[in-house]
Amino acid sequence: MTHQFDTETRLSPEGDGCFAGTVHPAWNIGDNPNGGYLLSLAMDALRQAAPQHADPLSVTVHYQRPGLASQPCTVRTEILRTGRTLTTARASLHQEGGARLEVLAALGELHADASHRLMPPMPPMPAPEHCLTRSGDEQGVRLPILDRVDIRLHPEEARAGAVGKAEVSGWIRFRDGRPPDALAALLFVDAFPPSVFGLLGMVGWVPTIELTVHVRRRPAPGWMLGQFRTLDMIDGRIVEDGMLWDSNGDLVAQSRQLALVRQA
Amino acid sequence: MTHQFDTETRLSPEGDGCFAGTVHPAWNIGDNPNGGYLLSLAMDALRQAAPQHADPLSVTVHYQRPGLASQPCTVRTEILRTGRTLTTARASLHQEGGARLEVLAALGELHADASHRLMPPMPPMPAPEHCLTRSGDEQGVRLPILDRVDIRLHPEEARAGAVGKAEVSGWIRFRDGRPPDALAALLFVDAFPPSVFGLLGMVGWVPTIELTVHVRRRPAPGWMLGQFRTLDMIDGRIVEDGMLWDSNGDLVAQSRQLALVRQA
């Protein structure tokens, strides 16, 4: 069965480590493509360029310019080093007018049955049917991406400024039934409302400067749970930390991003 | 006044974004150059390549091969984008036999008097004279770098496995009196014993795959305080989080690294 996320992130090899495709408008936040979706396009190219190490272990992306929805894109990849267990590679996504993002990644192999010595426990959360479906109202923009991913926010955190702290949590899954995988984790950590929403109330666009994701295992099927917190807001820039767990309660990913907040 | 850190990280421009220098053995961990020191060499090149935005806001480094102490090195830089407030750039450090590390960074301007809305408080810590000077005994290797930086570990955490959790904290400063700055923060977050030491006891080399540092302000003069924790140890890989505060108690940097632990 073919799923939307796979179809709409698929690039075609063009030779010399270059891949071509289209930035699909279905993953927009307002008029701009979601950053996690743009990253997923770059990751599809890296997986094709390094098929022996197709799982993302550590992925850093720097956003240089907003992407252009409905426009073609080219991803250029370069394998920096490949060893027995690890490949280090870079990728850049280009559209008319210049580079949109730059990725530096370590790729390897993840396991669904990974053993752990330390692991942050999944926080308590009401069942998805008792949470509030994310609508985008909190940012005052239309969110086409919510036709692709179903996000259920913690009912006590879903009103602007409700919790008096910069924290957002909830469930997430693809709407078309696609099971989550390591790639989806990269999308999911960038699909929740900005965590400063719980502290500041209505906020506009919170543009990401840089996002780093560590994927720790392949997720089990079902809903994933995300929790995002900003501990540090200095000079109008935040560092937001996130974690994602799978339906077994196992940690799948940790994320951290540096972003701008226009409201001081 | 000239300080060791500045002299021993200084590179000479060679044109075309390339810079040349030497990997000084004074910053070794055992026989290998410290990762934070190698990163500092790459950062010296980036600061010269982007003088209008000389402060590191977000720096990610992937370590591809151990550096070679006492050997020449070349750093190649590329400015990916430069705007009014931000420059995105990459750098790679090369020695005989190939690339040693790859850096992707956002550079801009930091302030010593940055205002904050959210900031993790400095944890309580005995004064430096009541802490234990780091000797390197916990890793069973000689640490030449400790002639360059003075590290005073929390007295209750300084014995192997002492605290039953993966946490290490303490004070740090340059031995020759050089005041800390944003660049020093990149070195200091990688100079403490691995935090898994407090949980597992004696551990050997804990090689870093990738390190990301967010520098948040320019530090005040004096000792800096570092705290490092591993919350997540899965399939022999750890994600270690760190924070650095300055002598005013203000947060200067957050760090996170993905590393291998040989002991399971």
Q: What tens digit of pLDDT does each residue of A203-240 get? A: 777 899 999 999 999 999 999 999 999 999 998 999 99
Q: Per residue in A12-25, pLDDT tens? A: 999 999 999 999 99
Instruction: Kindly state whether residue A200 falls inside one of the protein's structural domains.
Output: yes
The end-to-end CA distance of chain B, in Å, is 47
Q: Which residues of B are less than 8 Å from A234 in CB distance?
A: 114-119, 216-217, 251
Chain A residues within an 8 Å CB radius of B235: 110-111, 114-116, 216-217
pLDDT classification of A264: cutoffs 50, 70, 90: very low
Give a yes or no: residue A130 inside a domain.
yes
What pLDDT sits at residue B263?
61
Domains of chain A: total: 1
Strand partners, A237: A234, A260
The residue segments making up the domain with residue A196 are 4-110+126-260
The rounded mean pLDDT for chain A is 93
Residue A55 buriedness (CB in 10 A; 0-12 / 13-18 / 19+): middle
Please report, for the domain that includes residue A155, its CATH number.
2.40.160.210
Give B166's contacts in chain A (Cβ within 8 Å): 118
Residue A169 in domain: yes
Instruction: Answer yes or no: do B214 and A258 touch at CB < 8 A.
Output: yes
pLDDT < 50: residue spans in chain B? 264
- Kindly state whether residue A121 falls inside one of the protein's structural domains: no
pTM for the structure as a whole: 0.96
Rounded to a whole number of angstroms, the distance between the first and last alpha carbons of chain A is 47
What confidence score (pLDDT) does residue B162 get? 67
Q: What is the pLDDT of residue B138?
A: 62
pLDDT score for B197? 82
Among the partner-chain residues A88, A212, A234, the one whose CB lies closest to the CB of B216 is A234
CA distance to partner chain B, nearest, from residue A241 (Å):
11
Q: Which amino acid is at A37?
A: Y
Residue A66 belongs to some domain of the structure = yes
Rounded to a whole number of angstroms, the distance from the CA of A147 to the nearest CA of chain B is: 33
Q: In which residue are the tokens 């692991």 written? A: A119
How far from A103 is each of A35, A109, A142, A244, B193, CA to CA, in Å?
Answer: 12, 19, 27, 21, 30
Are B235 and A216 in contact (CB < 8 Å)? yes
Contact A90 B111 (CB under 8 A): no
Rounded to a whole number of angstroms, the CA Rg of chain B reads 17
| Predicted pLDDT of residue B10 | 98
Please write the tens of the pLDDT for every residue from A71-105. Answer: 999 999 999 999 999 999 999 999 998 999 999 99
Q: Do A58 and B119 touch (CB under 8 A)?
A: no
- Least Cα distance to A139 among A189, A190, A197 occurs for A197
Domain assignment of residue A117, yes or no: no
Q: How would residue A112 be classed by pLDDT, with cut points 50, 70 and 90?
A: confident
Across the interface, do B209 and A86 touch by the CB < 8 Å criterion?
yes
Nearest-by-Cβ selection for B234 from A62, A199, A216: A216
- Cβ within 8 Å of A, B 151-180: 166
Find, in chain A, the residue whose alpha carbon is nearest to that of B64: A81
Evaluate whether residue A116 is within a structural domain.
Answer: no
Residues of A with Cβ-Cβ distance to B209 under 8 angstroms: 57-58, 86, 106
B66: in domain: yes
Range name among A38-47, A131-140, A255-264, B219-228 with the lowest pLDDT average: A131-140
- Chain A residues 68-87 within an 8 A CB cutoff of chain B: 80-81, 86
Chain B's closest residue to A98, CA to CA, is B81
Of A123-137, A153-167, B128-142, where does mean pLDDT reach its minimum?
A153-167
**pLDDT for the residue numbered A53:** 96
Among A90, A232, A238, select the one facing B251 at the smallest CB separation.
A232
State the best of A232, A245, A250, A252 to mutate against chain B, taking most chain B CBs within 10 Å.
A232
Q: Which of A57, A118, A258 sits opposite B258 (nearest CB)?
A: A57
Contact in structure between A33 and A27 (CB atoms under 8 Å): yes
User: How confident is the model at residue A24, as a pLDDT?
Assistant: 98
